[in-house]
Amino acid sequence: MHDISDIPGAPESFTPRQRAVLDRALELLLEGGERALTTAGLARAASCSKESLYKWFGDRDGLLAAMISHQASKVRARIDDGSALDLSRFRAHLVDFATDLLQVLAGDVSLALNRLAIGQASREGSRLGQLLIERGRRGIDRRAGALLDAGRRRGLIVYGDRDAAYHTLYGLIVRDLHVRMLLGEAGARQPEKFAALAEEAVTQFFVLFGVRENKKADPD
Amino acid sequence: MHDISDIPGAPESFTPRQRAVLDRALELLLEGGERALTTAGLARAASCSKESLYKWFGDRDGLLAAMISHQASKVRARIDDGSALDLSRFRAHLVDFATDLLQVLAGDVSLALNRLAIGQASREGSRLGQLLIERGRRGIDRRAGALLDAGRRRGLIVYGDRDAAYHTLYGLIVRDLHVRMLLGEAGARQPEKFAALAEEAVTQFFVLFGVRENKKADPD
DNA sequence: AGAGAACCGTACCGTACGGTACGATCATCT
DNA sequence: AGATGATCGTACCGTACGGTACGGTTCTCT
């Protein structure tokens, strides 16, 4: 398995000046997509020289990777290590997680960076996708994993493979919304419906993995 | 609701020569991504003139739209309107659908076109995403819808909202695999695992929507 | 056979991008 | 104060793309 340290450009931290430039780069990306993010345009918008950009980030790909690392470093995925965990609290935590997940995926920055990485994925040797998964998703995955483990320890849910259970939960929550949002379908981006979607997904998740009346494996 | 006829460039059918050119364009897209699909490159690869390309498709965006329409016209989504439908047959049909869905989404052409449309989605006024959904997904959606309706009529499953049930099935099948494949994660593209994934998804779907021992809504 | 349309190959144009070079400016260190 | 290094603004270069124009060729229709 790859670790974060495997990815070039990931470990170094950026100076405040560089972070400001990266923030401006994100704004340009949000405004006009990848085509709007040119070195000359960024230099002008961020009031820095192109020479500095190439000195700091190497080349354009390095800049894109730095943008992903920078954005990921801003999002702190808290771990709900709920101590006193009863069923209703556990369920509420799951619904919170589901709502947060949908809101994150629907966020402007997330969509822009995912579009960027996906657009680059066709080029051979582009590690932006890998980088995005490592730096962006790992935190969310860990939070969910810790949550599921806690629920299982309390006997509130039961599963054999934690990752499989998590992926099922993810599918129940996100469905095909992420891809539709990435494709720009307006109907898929309706944050006011996320709460209801989260509720339903968690309800279904409990039907599949919850411990209630019939906890034994169904024969036949 | 938009219909296919709403989309400019969709209704016209292409001449054999144009179809051959579009096929060549798809090959170029598969080989090197969007950057490799230039008008000059396509003209050279397809042995046609750039002037003809602009005459046939208007501009580059028209060419991309034509590629999507052309590819969609090649994929014929059959409808499993199974007549004698018992539970095991219905389940087999669902597993077939799930396997087909995963294989389609993992296909080279599908991934390339989705990456193309997603990469263009940031630009304002790009209808490629809409076009891809209309022309590519509608067929699959209809096939699944007909299948679910048939199962419900036979009393094999029960649901209130067919679209909701379908989206749940979709989420159970695809999970986050589609986005991971779009991002280029090698681990997500393992067709040898699709059969098992399809089986598990359908099993879970029946737990949620199947009619067995307790078919009444769970109180509390 | 002859006219007309469609099409091919090539050349051309303007633009815009990635990347580099250089002088000027500013901050810091001794 | 003087030197050193980082950075800015600008200019520059080579390339490559989207789109257009044009002469020559092939096909079709009458």
Query: Under an 8 A CB cutoff, do A184 and B208 touch?
Result: no
pLDDT in tens, B186-195: 999 999 999 9
For chain B, what percent of residues have pLDDT higher than 90? Answer: 82
Interface of B with A in 183-212 (CB under 8 A): 183-185, 200, 204, 207-208
pLDDT of A77: 74
pLDDT of A220: 43
Residues in chain B, total: 220
- Distance between CA A44 and CA A144 in Å, rounded? 41
pLDDT of A101: 98
Interface of A with B in 32-51 (CB under 8 A): 32-35
**Residue ranges in chain A whose pLDDT is less than 50:** 1-11, 214-220
Query: Under an 8 A CB cutoff, do B185 and A119 touch?
Result: no
pLDDT of B78: 78
Of A172, A175, A182, the CB nearest to B121: A182
Q: Is the pLDDT of residue B202 over 50?
A: yes
Q: Which residues of B touch A169 (CB under 8 A)?
A: none
Q: Is the pLDDT of residue B86 over 70?
A: yes
Query: How high does pLDDT run on average in chain B?
Result: 90
Phi, psi dihedral angles at A81 (to 5 degrees): -90, 60
Helices (H) then strands (E): counts for chain B: 11, 0
Reference B175, options B162, B156, B194, B160; nearest CA is B194
Strand C CB shell (< 7 Å): A 35, 37-41, 49-51, 54, 59-60; B 15, 17, 43, 47-52, 55-56
A161: helix, strand or coil: coil
